[in-house]
Structure 1
Amino acid sequence: MMKCRVAAFILSVGLVSFYQAQTITGKISDAQANIKAYAEVILKKDKIIRSSITDENGNFRIDAPEKGIYELDVLVDGNIVYKQELNIYGNINKNIIVKKETEYNIQEVKLTARKKIVERKVDRMVFNVENSIASQGMSTLDALRNTPLVRVQNDNISIVGKNGVSIMINDKIVNLSGTELTNYIQSLRSDNISKIEVITTPPAKYEAQGNSGIINIILKKNPDLGWSGSLSTSYVRRSEDGFSNNVNLNYQSSKINSSLKLRQYDNKKRSSEVNSIEAINSLFSDDKRLDMNNGIGINFSSEMQLTDKSKIVFVYDFADVNQNMDIRNVSDYKTFSTRDSLLSTYAEHRQNAQTHMVNLYYDYKIDSLGKKLSLNANYFSNNPENEINFTTDNLTSISSKSFRSYNYTKYNVWSAQGDLVLPFKFTTFETGMKFSMFDNKSNLKYYRVNEFPVIMPDGTNLFNYNEENYAVYISAEKILSDRWTAKGGLRYEYSIIDGESPLAGTNQKYNYGQFFPTAYLAYKQNTNNMFTLSYSRRINRPFFRALNPNRWYTNPYTFAKGNPLLRPSYNNNFELGYSFKSKLNLSMYYQNVTNSFSQLVTYTEGIKTIDYANMYNENNVGIDASYYDTFFKIWEVSLAANAYYTKSKNIIPQIVGQKSFNFYYSINNTISLSSKKNVQLFMNYSQMLPGTFGNFKSDGYSMLNIGGKISLMDKKMQINIFFEDVFKKAISQGQSVYSDFIMKNKNYYDLRSFNISLNYSFGNSKVKGANKNINFDERNRAK
């Protein structure tokens, strides 16, 4: 009851009404009624007092610090298109019709008003893609490779210094993961992107789940009506061939904005995983793997403008995915130097999964001052069927055994959320609440296959898992003066967990509630120097497979399973940032992680078990640095580095904590060979030096990517060609330190590749289509 009262109190605070602001609001459009999204609005009196950027619908809001006479300017692409003197003595609401930029002398603001490539905000770093020559005419995935603080390796996206990342488009989470997420992002074009926001310490509005940051992709919006579309195809050659194809169709009218996206892929690659357990009883294992992943997907989204103040969005996504593997394994078991047995195993993994996702979103603008109510509801289902057939030959005793493992899992996830934005003169409030529920079931059967299948000991198990999460938050942002901006928030989350193994007669039921505060402070000394300070607390809840005790066998003596006793880990993040001319960005940070969980390997009496456990606490202190600049108008350079000291302390006796200094850096270069920038070459290099993570010591890696891109037919067709991991140096190699043995590994996942892609845009290229994505973070834990 007390927890419910606390949650109700937090929400009620956000709904308190304050006195009205002395504010200028309105909408900006041109003489043809075309709205001006992302225009810059400046309020000045001898010098710039306030500035603001219009939203996707051309709306703006700017506060005057006191009554008096001001000049109001509007700039588009760095050029003044409107000027007016205003006598401000109260709230003003006006619709502005801008004129042609040639009617004003644009030289006076040309150097100061144009958008910079990189900008630092109070709670995020902003990369203005539309101003970057290196990020035009390519897929969104390729544009992310050029974004400061973002790392893309083997199509896996991460933020430097973070364990994970969530992808948003226009402030809404993309409800896809893994290969499906990669193919979806690959289908979006960078020409349609206005900016990419990198949020390293997410505000209270966003889920507290995961020690992860957020990448928010903001798309351009244009009111032009009609049809548009694009066709894209790509080919990648690793050790095997891979293909992907995408079709996008967009339609926009005065009331409806819809998109239909079709995706298909068929990729193969060969991977190698070599690991050894070195102790009195040792094990050497060598996997040669062929991955065969293919799938199709469809995404339909439609946005309907109900009234001038309200709109509704519907999104449906379907995917049919096959993730198959053929694995040949050799395992050598020894006591001291004497061989006990030598096993050869051939395994066929076959998994098919069909996913359905439905999202419904409603947005209501309460007034012209920016008050807004947003409601959304989401449903996701996934029913993967996994079958493993393997035969193990004992080469020392000349015997053979065959087995079959069948696992059927059913995921269902529901969520509902409401958000309220309340701008007042005192501050801008955001508040809301969210409910989510997981209902997951898993059925395992494991057979010895002779003439008739025989159930093995521990070969059958059922696991039912139910989780309910309740969340409420409030945040406030205040411009304290011309130089100071503050933002703070508090989120409360309450969880009820119920995990049951009916056949074993065990049940894990518990609940917990936690507060997650966030705080930000920004100081803009002048136009060249800006300082930021931030803090956030987050939680990392286990995903379903890490909790599921069902066993996944790879040979008779090696299996992986989950741990229903696994508990969440918590993370505290502190960051001090500095930006110089929006080109050089520095960030000093401290991270404290408690109760961190990871995979735990045990090796007892010849049985290798891969489990999950809460293993260690960890402290990281370091600095991020990035520099972005353009030289001679044709050479764009991006430099990034991350240096930090890490120390982990074990909380279970099986592992040994580690400490080390870690260093990562990258250098990205793009050169335009023509004045129209339709032919470009690039060379990107990154390296991770040896370091530690938890109880793992990494030997480091490096990667060199080179390539080029050509734009044809007035940039309606783009051709991209690049080589990834040219020297085959992106090898995951190192050792995990346990109290009674050392486990070494050397893994390579076929990263060296040749890639070529073609994209053709047709129709009205200014029509961007509906790209609304609903805030549905929980979907990513259903794996």
Structure 2
Amino acid sequence: MILRYKNLQLFTAFLLVSLLVSSRLKAQTKAPVYLIKGKVLDEKKQELMYALVNLYHSKDSTLVTATLTNEQGDFSFSKAPEGSYLIEIVSMGYQKKFHGPFVVNPGYQMISIENILMLPETKQLNTVDILAKKPLIERKNGKVILNIASSTIASGNTAMEILSKAPGVTADNEGNFSLRGKTGVNIMIDGKLTYLSTTQLSNLLRTTPGSSIQNIEIISNPTAKYDAAGTGGIININLKKNSSYGTNGNVQLGAGYGTFYKSDIGISLNHRSKKVNIFGNYNYANNKEYEDLFVRRSTKALESATYFDQEAKQNYFKRNNTYKAGLDYYLNDHQIIGFMASGYVNNNKITDHILTRIGAQPGITDSTVLGNNPGKSTFRNQSYNLNYKAVLDTSGQELNVDIDYSRIKNTEQTIYQSEFMNANGIAFKNPLIFRNATPTKINILAAKLDYSYPFSPKLKLETGLKSSYVNTDNDFQSANFQDNSWINDPAKSNRFTYKEYINAAYASLHKTFEGGTNVQVGLRTELTRSEGNSITLQSVLKRNYLDFFPNFAISHSLSKDHDLGFSYSRRIERPGYQSLNPFIYYADLYTLAQGNPTLKPEYANALELTYGYQKKTNFSLAYTKTKDVIATTLLTDTIKKTLLLYEQNLASRSTISFNINRPFVLTNWWSTNNDLTLYYSRFSTPQLMGVPFKNGKTTFILNTTQTFQLHKTWNAELAANYTSSQAYGTYVAKPIYGIDLGISKSFARERANLKFAINDVFNTREIKINSAIPLQDYRLTQKQESRIFRLTFGYSFGSTVIKPARERANSSELEQNRVKTGN
């Protein structure tokens, strides 16, 4: 599919306007400008590449502009007005170097500074090396940053496990994340939304190794530059990038054992030269996992009641392949064009054995159903990205364009085999055998343009456009096994297609005032057009709506030790594609899930007040009001005796939260970071199952991490977390807690690293929920394989000369976040 002609017109017009504005602003500069250029060398008198060069007014040391040296160590400032200047050169591993002051005027129209020599930075006290290490948790520009790369435990966990233990973050049994009590959290990878459904995203995160993560950014109130999706905020996972010049790579091998063995292997290669950057990686994981599920419930109809006691044992066999390859070509020092292809091929098998005891009284079995439900699935994705980036001048004027296309093909099939026994274990009717097959095709096309213009070092405008198109085709096929053959069941089959167009534009203005005050104000608008078509039911639902999403943030430094901030944002959460499909999916004979094509998007208004003390202790107080909350409800059919998982809109959710984070350095070898969140969240709707509904609860979340520097090359880490009982839509989750432990050893001049980790040392993590609806009676316990012993070995090879890594922002990440991956 291609973007509509009007969308192309819109992008072309915006690009022309941006370039005209840039040219007009340049044309209006009537004052004469002069050239400042120079060359920077290292201690061996070789060209020093990509050193940061800052240009200051010598009178008051205010920053005028900045640039980087190129591959030949050269730099230049081509728009310097008449005046007196000072230059500062900064490069990792070298001492800062100043040059000047010097004057540019009609008598000195060009200043040439040749062979500025940089000296290596050495920091030693007697025989003790001073090593710089990022703290585990930082707060910058309204973000909470978790520096996962320095964590020993992270290498033994998946992204899903790390996120579920992040400060203020919780995950339910379906993989839905909440941030300080707020659901509707959007997960981004490398600044790009993934467009996956809840199930698909949780599967992806469960096979993303923690060792591949650089850091995680938690953003409670994102700016207008981000997609408006995510009423609970955004969590951005930044993967590791190879930043070395030359040819280099990394190999990682891992093995684990819990109840079953696990293994993984990954390799990444990178080559950087003056004009070309070529990169690629491949990862393979072969895992066997288990999950135990216990459900106890009852249904009441008139004067009678039926009691169910279910036990399910599920084993998963997963073989996952992920890959990425790309090329960046440097047209010149200021323009880059790049192409990237990525994807995955995931093959899964599942064995599911279910024992269901049924009786008219608690604890008494009148009949039994034995279920054996084998399944298999294949998930394939191919994505392509074309990117162009231009630095239009040395003041920081930039243009960035991304075009993305993704094609996703999923195939799932489950056979349901049920045998019926009486109280004596004798079959009283024929077995029931049927199967469900769900082939799904998804096409995603997205394009975005971002433009930034700094009016001055203290005033910057960011603006841009984005357009996306998604087309899904789900052909749900059900068949019954009769007379030794499969016969299609049209009454249970359904084909559902969905189309969605989103066109967006944004503008954001950043201003720094004298006295330490920073203000950011932005506005994003999104026009959404969608069409859901149940072909089998001959039912079409079209929607067309325009929304505005303002945001505002202000921060002020009261003094050296005190910082104060306030922010506001409005956001949206659209239903996942699969949630709109009205077909019925069977977990077992008595537990069903059904999509809801009438689901509406939810909207949230969020306020947050922050306070920082001595750059270490951070406090925040936040309030969020959400309307038309999308919640998974568990509904009981008293006639069919089934439990239905059904998403619908509740009227509202109100959440107020308080958070405090404080690191401590206890000794020169022991440090700790502690995070406490206390929140109250309440769901309410005027009518649910015929009566008003309210569900509210106060919850606290505690995360503590202890880091030990046992030796120069030995590190250990212990992490503990506890989440008290909390409210989730129409049910209540019981407390969950656990402890993780890890130790690492580096050697071979820090190119090699060996890590051993134990996840959930005491095997305590399990999910327990029960109904918050008075008329319902169900209790569910879900225990996944959580205590796992892992050993990971990593080795880096090749060049270690640092060059800034190439970053790009995929424009279709949000749409892919709503697609199933099967990880």
SS of structure 2 residue aligned to 1:424: strand
Aligned to 2:129: none
Is the Cα contact below 8 Å between 1:251 and 1:767 reproduced in 2? Answer: no
Partner of 1:774: 810
* Counterpart in the other structure of 1:409: 440
| CA 701–23 in structure 1, closer or farther in 2 if over 3 Å, else same | farther
Match of 2:685 in 1: 650
Q: 1:160 to 1:600 in 2, by over 3 A?
A: closer
Cα 1:104–1:594, aligned 2, differ >3 Å: closer, same or farther?
A: same
Which shows bigger deviation, 655-664 or 377-386? 655-664
SS in structure 1 at match of 2:228? coil
Match of residue 284 from structure 2 = 264
Letter in 2 for 1:123: G
The aligned residue for residue 96 of structure 2 is 81
Q: Which amino acid aligns with 2:811?
A: N
- Partner of residue 702 from structure 2, selected from 665, 668, 671: 665
**Of 11, 35, 55, which aligns to 2:49?**
35
CA distance in 2, matches of 1:699, 1:93: 69
Cα distance between partner residues in 2 of 1:53 and 1:152: 41
Look up the match of 2:336. 311
The residue matched to 1:774 in structure 2 has which SS?
coil
The answer to whether the aligner puts 1:124 opposite 2:143 as a matched pair is yes
2:659–2:676 CA contact under 8 A, matched in 1:
yes
- 1:656 aligned counterpart, secondary structure: strand
Find the aligned partners of 2:34 and 2:551 in 1 and give their Cα distance. Answer: 27
> Residues 96 and 408 (structure 1 numbering): CA distance in 2 closer, same or farther, change over 3 Å?
farther
Aligned to 1:110: none
Residue type of the partner of 2:332? T
Aligned partner letter, 1:167: M
Aligned counterpart in structure 1 of residue 428 of structure 2, from 398, 422, 434: 398
* Distance of aligned partners of 1:679 and 1:146 in 2 relative to their CA distance in 1, 3 Å threshold: farther
Say whether residues 1:327 and 2:356 are aligned partners.
no
- Cα 1:105–1:242, aligned 2, differ >3 Å: closer, same or farther? closer
Aligned residue identity for 1:260: G
Distance apart, 1:548 and its partner CA? 0.9
Distance 1:270 1:560, change over 3 A: same
State the 1:558 CA deviation.
3.3
The corresponding residue for 2:224 is: 204
Deviation at 1:476, TM superposition (A): 0.9
Rounded to whole Å, the distance in 1 between the matches of 2:404 and 2:498 is 19
TM-score, normalised with respect to structure 1? 0.86
Give the corresponding residue for 2:760: 725
CA-to-aligned-CA distance 1:38-86 (integer Å, 9 cap, x gap): x695969899766999789899999xxx998676544556975212344
Q: Secondary structure at the match of 1:254?
A: coil
Q: Which moved more, 1:23-32 or 1:515-524?
A: 23-32
What is the alpha-carbon distance in structure 2 between the residues aligned to residue 106 and residue 184 of structure 1? 38
Amino acid at match of 1:596: V
Offset, 1:523: 0.6
1:254 to 270, 274, 278: 274
Structural mapping, 1:545-694, within 5 Å? 545-604=578-637, 605=639, 606-654=641-689, 656-674=693-711, 676=712, 678-694=713-729
For the 8 Å contact 2:747–2:753, the answer to whether it is kept is yes
Aligned equivalent of 1:421? 452
Q: Mapping of 1:271-286 within 5 angstroms? A: 271-280=291-300, 281=305, 282-286=307-311
- 1:354 maps onto 2:380 in alignment: yes
Q: What is the distance in 2 between the residues matched to 1:24 and 1:221?
A: 34
Q: 2:320 maps to which residue? A: 295
Contact 2:511 2:518 in 1 (8 A): yes
For residues 559 and 450 of structure 1, do their structure 2 counterparts lie closer, same or farther at Cα, with a shift above 3 Å needed?
same
Of residues 670, 695, 716, the one that matches 2:751 is: 716
Deviations for 1:487-543, whole angstroms, at most 9, x for unmatched residues? 111110111111111221111111111101111111122333222211111111111
**Change in 2 beyond 3 A, CA 1:214/1:340:** same
Aligned-pair CA distance for 1:441: 0.7
Q: Secondary structure at the match of 1:384?
A: strand
Quote how far apart the aligned CAs of 1:295 are.
1.8
Of 174-183 and 269-278, more deviation after overlay is shown by 174-183
Contact 2:251 2:267 in 1 (8 A): yes
Tell me which amino acid in the other structure corresponds to 2:510.
E
Note if contact 1:658-1:695 (Cα within 8 Å) is conserved in structure 2.
yes
Separation in structure 2 between the aligned mates of residue 127 and residue 283 of structure 1, nearest angstrom: 44
CA distance in 2, matches of 1:28, 1:140: 45
Match of 1:524 among 557, 577, 593: 557
Correspondence for 1:758? 793
SS of aligned partner of 1:459: coil
Tell me whether 1:504 sits opposite 2:537 in the alignment: yes
CA radius of gyration, larger in:
2
Q: How far off is 1:455 after superposition?
A: 3.5
Q: Structure 1's 234 and 136: CA in aligned 2 closer, same or farther, altered over 3 A? A: closer
How many Å separate the matches in 2 of 1:115 and 1:135? 16
- Mapped to 2, the partners of 1:13 and 1:277 lie a distance apart of 63
Aligned with 1:546: secondary structure?
A: helix
Q: Is the 8 A contact 1:116 1:582 kept in 2?
A: no
Is residue 118 of structure 2 the alignment partner of residue 100 of structure 1? yes
Correspondent of 2:472 among 397, 420, 440: 440
Within 1, Cα distance between the matches of 2:688 and 2:255?
Answer: 48
CA, structure 1 residues 55+779, in 2 after alignment: closer, same or farther (shift >3 Å)? farther
Instruction: List runs of 5+ in structure 2 lacking aligned partners.
Output: 1-5, 126-131
Post-superposition shift, 1:255? 0.9
Deviation at 1:582, TM superposition (A): 2.1
1:165: how far off?
4.1
Going from structure 1 to structure 2, the CA distance change for 1:404 and 1:196 (only over 3 Å counts) comes to closer
Find out whether 1:541 has 2:562 as its counterpart: no
Question: Alpha-carbon deviations, 1:530-583, whole Å to 9, x = none?
Answer: 222111111111111111112222344432121111111112221111222322
More divergent stretch after superposition (680-689 vs 18-27): 18-27
> Given residue 662 of structure 1, which amino acid in structure 2 is its aligned partner?
T
TM-score by length of 2: 0.83
- State the shift of 1:100 in Å: 3.2
- Does 2:234 align with 1:213? yes
Q: Which moved more, 1:592-601 or 1:278-287?
A: 278-287
Q: Which stretch shifts more, 348-357 or 215-224?
A: 215-224
Contact 1:725–1:752 (Cα < 8 Å) also in 2: yes
When residues 199 and 724 of structure 1 are mapped into structure 2, their CA distance, relative to the original with a 3 A threshold, is: same
Letter in 2 for 1:328: H
**Corresponding residue SS for 1:458:** coil
CA spacing shift, 1:136–1:392, aligned 2, 3 Å: closer
**How far did residue 257 of structure 1 move?**
0.9
Q: Which amino acid aligns with 1:728?
A: N
307-316 vs 760-769, greater mean Cα deviation: 760-769
Query: What's the % identity of the aligned pairs?
Result: 20
Which whole-Å deviations, capped at 9, do the CAs of 1:409-438 have from their partners, x for residues lacking one? 111111111111111127211111111111
SS in 2 for 1:723: strand
- 2:248 and 2:271 in contact (8 A); partners too: yes
Say if 1:679 and 1:708, in contact at 8 Å, map to a contact too. Answer: yes
Q: Does residue 468 in structure 1 map to residue 498 in structure 2?
A: no
Instruction: Provide the rounded CA distance (Å) in 2 between the counterparts of 1:27 and 1:178.
Output: 51
Q: Give, as a single letter, the amino acid of the residue that structure 2 aligns with 1:755.
A: R
* Number of aligned positions between the proteins: 761
Give structure 1 stretches of 5+ with no counterpart: 108-113
